[in-house]
Amino acid sequence: MPRNPERRFVILDRDGTIIEEREYLSDPDEVTLIPGVGAGLRDFQKMGLGLVVITNQSGVGRGFFDQLQLDRVHERLRKLLERESVHLDGIYVCSHKPEDDCVCRKPKLGLFEKAAKDLGFSLNSSIVIGDKASDMEMGRTAGATTVLVRTGYGSETAVGGRVAADYLVDNLPASVKIIRSLLIKTECTQ
């Protein structure tokens, strides 16, 4: 009897990866999808992949804005994605300051592990897409496939090869072909 493989997930950074980078974003009206992101995320869904956002939002911990404002930002993000026929399986947020040394702030695995437990997937079968070193480090520590995008801080992050990523692409839509190819390879080896 054929085995039903575990659903795989794409773990997405928020700012600079799926929405335009804005320092300490707290105004829902400033949430803007990066061009092509909707189509790219739709393609991932068509491949059967789950979609989770994991984001560090220290602006809450620093008192720049509160949880309610952050919730409004995420509500706006979900609405923009719904217009693109995209559904997020979850948004996981670390609102601590870097100096709090919490277990949930990327590059630590706390939120990644929580999402995996909540949604029933394994870390090492996941694909992490982001624009910062902390995204790549989190993914590599988890044994996931890592994709560094050049949007947001990605171009700066990629300079000099200081960050180990499995793949480097211009933007999220450019990762679709790579991920499709990876999924086909995985299917062929099972």
CB atoms within 10 A of CB 176: 19
Residue 26 in this model has a pLDDT that exceeds 90: yes
pLDDT of 36 higher than 60: yes
Q: Residue 148 carries which DSSP code?
A: E
Nearest one of 31, 72, 35, 74 to 54, comparing CA atoms: 74
Q: How far is Cα 129 from Cα 53, in angstroms, rounded to an integer? A: 10
**Residue 129 in contact with residue 149, Cβ under 8 Å?**
yes
Looking at per-residue confidence, does 190 or 173 come out higher?
173
What residues act catalytically?
A: 13, 15
Q: How confident is the model at residue 185 (pLDDT cuts 50, 70, 90)?
A: confident
Fill in the DSSP letter of residue 131.
Answer: S
pTM for this predicted structure: 0.94
Whether pLDDT at 190 is above 70: no
65-122 pLDDT per residue, tens = 999 999 999 999 999 999 999 999 999 999 999 999 999 999 999 999 999 999 999 9
Q: Which domains, ranges and CATH numbers included, belong to the chain?
A: 9-189 (3.40.50.1000)
